Amino acid sequence: MTEDASAKKGLAAIKGTRDILPGEVEKWQALEGLARTTFELYGFRELRAPVFEATELFEKGTGSTSDVVTKEMYTFTDKGGRSITLRPEYTPSVARAIIEHRLDLEGAPMRYYYMGPMFRYDKPQKGRYRQFHQVDIEVFGEKDAAVDAEIIEMAHALLDKLGVTGTETLVNSVGCRACRPAYGAALREAAAKRKDELCADCQRKAETNPLRIFDCKVDACREAAASFPSIQDYLCEECREHFGKLLDGLDVLKIPYRVDPRLVRGLDYYTKTTFEIVASGLGAQNALLGGGRYDDMMKDFGGPDICGTGFAMGIERVLAVAALAPPERKILYLAYLGDKAKKAGLELARFFRANGVECLVEYKDRGMKAHFGRANKLQAAWVLIVGDNELRSGRFGLKDMASGRQFDGPREDLLALILKR
């Protein structure tokens, strides 16, 4: 069915979601494989949490003044009357899992990674989807700014392997509960002076959480916000020192960065470090990944007082700028002639597959010419010919489709030949 026809019948994918089809999915698999091997080199282990959680988890974690919670959550009441939300991000789920399973008592490094879908009801556009996918990493129990530098370097290591170039790393500190109130007051005062220029949303934010004004996309609000005081001038001694150590760590690791005092990030939980890696050529949605420190989340959840830091990378956005070559596939196409050969083909295919060769059998009866036509279309590397004579003698014909050369021999010899190439 064409896309149009299925849309009319109401069977099209929901706006803001998309299918990842063969041909494209290989790039996803390559990215996921490289992410896995990279993170494990840094001591991370996978932690898989559910796709939906109690709504309260995100209200408390992601934050009740964030756009994500106020506007973008997929929330519904389930049949048991509970308010459920499809996770808009992963960080609160990991914190919850640690508390629930007391992973902090196990003594293992609390370094976790995960890859999977997230859901946000935002206006779909290039690089922004309602179901999108993140690669997420989180570290718990490490206060030192060195670990923030380490994970930023790890993000770069992965982006390098993915062939992503032309990025810029932005860093900032958003302070802590000790120094942010004074900054909030200064922002409120600055916002009050330019109240008439701010959109209704930002006028409200000025009251609830003035830091959120920096997230606004409205030009007039951005212009006004550019004149607001910088958080860098309000950091307490501890936060200033922590930020200095982060920059030292990045210098040691030779990661170029730009300090951006407006980088407050859209989620409420950040303390001290925030960072983003942005890409040129991606338009408005240019953040490949973003993250930072959230030292109060666990405590606020009623769990142990354990700090956290991490980031999430948007898979769709990274793949849009990655240079990943599709993996080479070497298909052995099995061409049989007649019913007896078809049956024997089943067993032969099993033999080749058991020895690591991708083998394709199609059950529609074809003549030899049609088999070769089909093998060509599928870009098969090899064709194995199975007919009555071959079955009697136990020797089969094998054609190398690239060179056109034909070989003949028992299956073990042909397997050795295929594996050698």
Candidate segments 128-136, 150-158, 180-188, 246-254, binder of ligand HAM by CB under 6 A: 128-136
Using rule CB under 6 A, residue 63 touches ligand HAM: no
The least distance separating ligand HAM from the CB of residue 162, rounded to whole angstroms, comes to: 13
In the complex, what is the shortest distance from the CB of residue 137 to ligand HAM, in angstroms, rounded to a whole number?
7
156 binds ligand HAM (CB under 6 A): no
Which 3 state secondary structure label does DSSP give 251?
A: helix
Q: What is the nearest approach in angstroms of ligand HAM to the Cβ of residue 64?
A: 16
Could you say which residues in the range 182-221 bind ligand HAM, by CB under 6 A? none
Phi and psi, residue 276, nearest 5°: -145, 150
Applying CB under 6 A, the span of 119-127, 177-185, 296-304, 332-340 interacting with ligand HAM comes to 119-127
Q: Closest Cα partner for 66 from 264, 285, 278, 296?
A: 264
Taking a C-beta distance cutoff of 8 angstroms, is the pair 109, 65 a contact?
no
Q: Which residues pair with 168 in a beta bridge?
A: 278
Minimum CB–partner distance for residue 353 and ligand HAM (Å): 37
Size of the site for ligand HAM (CB under 6 A): 26
Say how far apart CA 131 and CA 117 lie, in whole Å.
Answer: 6
| Residue 16, phi-psi category: left (phi > 0), alpha (psi -120 to 50), beta (remainder) | left
Query: At its nearest, how many Å lie between ligand HAM and the CB of residue 308?
Result: 7
Q: Minimum CB separation from ligand HAM for residue 322, in Å?
A: 13
Interaction of residue 180 with ligand HAM, rule CB under 6 A = no
**Does 89 interact with ligand HAM (rule: CB under 6 A)?**
yes
The one segment of 2-10, 217-225, 307-315, 380-388 that binds ligand HAM by CB under 6 A: 307-315
Q: Which is nearer to ligand HAM, 297 or 380 (CB)?
A: 297
Q: Which is nearer to ligand HAM, 109 or 397 (CB)?
A: 109
Alpha-carbon span 129 to 20, nearest angstrom: 13
If binding is defined by CB under 6 A, does position 122 make contact with ligand HAM? yes
Tell me which of 27, 60, 111, 120 binds ligand HAM, using CB under 6 A: 120
With CB under 6 A as the contact rule, the residue among 316, 321, 345, 357 that binds ligand HAM is: 316
Instruction: Find, among 68, 58, 66, 45, the residue nearest to 95 by Cα.
Output: 58
| CB of 117 or CB of 397, closer to ligand HAM | 117
b/e sequence 306-336, b meaning 16+ C-beta within 10 Å: bbbbbbbbbbbbbbbbbebeeeeeebbbbbb
Q: Can you point out the beta strands (E) in 20-149? A: 45-46, 52-54, 74-77, 83-86, 111-119, 131-140
Tell me how far, at minimum, the Cβ of 210 lies from ligand HAM, in Å.
Answer: 20
* Contacts to ligand HAM from residues 336-375, by CB under 6 A: none
Residue bearing tokens 């996921």: 32
Residues 132-151 within binding reach of ligand HAM (CB under 6 A): 132, 134, 136, 138
Residues facing 131 on adjacent strands: 119
Given a contact cutoff of 8 angstroms between Cβ atoms, the answer to whether 149 and 246 are in contact is yes
Which helix (H) or strand (E) covers residue 258, if one does? strand 258-259
Cβ-closest position to ligand HAM: 314
| Sequence-distant (≥ 6) Cβ neighbours of residue 337 within 8 angstroms | 367, 368, 385, 386, 387, 388
Whether 138 contacts 235, CB under 8 Å? no
SS3 state at 262:
coil
- Work out how close the CB of 30 gets to ligand HAM at its nearest, in angstroms, rounded to a whole number: 18
Window 264-303: residues binding ligand HAM (CB under 6 A): 266-267, 287-292
- In the complex, the residues that contact ligand HAM under the rule CB under 6 A are 89-91, 120, 122, 127-129, 132, 134, 136, 138, 266-267, 287-292, 310-312, 314, 316-317
